[in-house]
Structure 1
Amino acid sequence: MDREVIIPEEMREIVDRAGYAPAVKVGATIYVVGQVGRTRDLQVIQDPREQFKAMWENLRIVLAAANCNFDDIVEMTSYHVEMSKHMDVFRTAKNEIVPKGTYAWTRIGVSELAHPGLLAEVKCVAVKR
């Protein structure tokens, strides 16, 4: 089966710096690595609401580079620092962009993420229809 590495132009720096691809497409399935709320130059956004909005936008960018959108997501996992403190804001930001009830979703509380200040990370699997 064909395997295609997905690297949106906006995310070239993460590949150069961290050495991994934002997504890999195998057949009609797209595996998207954890996306977080940071700027294009990899700076963590401090405001929780803005960080979560940027995280969803970064996920949208990766999906679009694979010719997919949020409707193509079949499974999603999110990781949260201080989950109970930020879940309402996280969910509000998610509901503004991601369709409800169209994917399986697991939420996991963690003590920390890759960089100080990150509050959430989301990864997913999408299937291009």
Structure 2
Amino acid sequence: MPKPIVPKSLQSYVTDWMMSPGLEHDGFVFMTGLTGADADGLLADNPTDQIEAVFEKIGMVLTEAGLGFEHLVEMTSYHVGLRDHLNAFKDIRAKYVSEPFPAWTAIEVAGFVREGACIEIRCIARRN
């Protein structure tokens, strides 16, 4: 049976959007695409702060599941203005992931539900 992974600060995903920030099934944790709004729902104007915020949210979901970034097996990042902040993204990502690195796909998109968001990341983690 799938088990929802819901950090307290992300409870609005369940109540407002009827989705789990993470869902564990058969040792895998599938994460909803998370944007770069901070824990208070505020969205920074610059991509660097948004990228930092989204990695912090990923960390919250992993921690709630009893996992860490070393458990990530796949990451898909969606970007508005990919080439404008790709180097910043790579630098920030390198602070969180380590070998063996998760598989990663970066995709340029036209926009997100949240106006002003420039990044959304979806991940899959696996228990060892």
Tell me the TM-score normalised to structure 1 length: 0.93
Asked if the contact 1:14/1:42 (under 8 Å) is kept, the reply is: no
- Report the Cα distance in structure 1 between the residues aligned to 2:20 and 2:116, rounded to whole angstroms: 23
Q: What RMSD in Å do the two structures reach over aligned CA positions? A: 1.2
Instruction: Work out whether 1:119 is the aligned partner of 2:123.
Output: no
Partner of 2:55: 56
Q: What does 1:85-100 align with in structure 2 at a 5 Å threshold?
A: 85-100=84-99
Using the TM superposition, give the Cα deviation of residue 101 of structure 1 relative to its aligned residue in structure 2, in angstroms: 4.7
Partner of 1:65: 64
**TM superposition outliers: structure 1 runs of 4+ over 4 Å:** none
Using the TM superposition, give the Cα deviation of residue 25 of structure 1 relative to its aligned residue in structure 2, in angstroms: 0.2
- How many residue pairs match? The answer is 128
- Report the Cα distance in structure 2 between the residues aligned to 1:100 and 1:53, rounded to whole angstroms: 20
Identity %: 27
- Report the Cα distance in structure 1 between the residues aligned to 2:89 and 2:99, rounded to whole angstroms: 14
Change (3 A) 1:113 1:101: farther
Q: Deviations along 1:49-75, whole A, 9 cap, x unmatched?
A: 111101000000001111111111111
Partner of 2:80: 81
Instruction: Work out whether 1:8 is the aligned partner of 2:7.
Output: yes
Instruction: Work out whether 1:110 is the aligned partner of 2:109.
Output: yes
SS in 2 for 1:102: coil
Q: Which moved more, 1:29-38 or 1:97-106?
A: 97-106
- Report the Cα distance in structure 1 between the residues aligned to 2:99 and 2:58, rounded to whole angstroms: 16
Q: Deviations along 1:34-56, whole A, 9 cap, x unmatched?
A: 11111223222222111110100
- Report the Cα distance in structure 2 between the residues aligned to 1:77 and 1:51, rounded to whole angstroms: 16
- Report the Cα distance in structure 2 between the residues aligned to 1:98 and 1:120, rounded to whole angstroms: 17
Q: Where does the alignment leave 5 or more consecutive residues of structure 1 unmatched?
A: none
- Report the Cα distance in structure 2 between the residues aligned to 1:24 and 1:122, rounded to whole angstroms: 15
Q: Where does the alignment leave 5 or more consecutive residues of structure 2 unmatched?
A: none
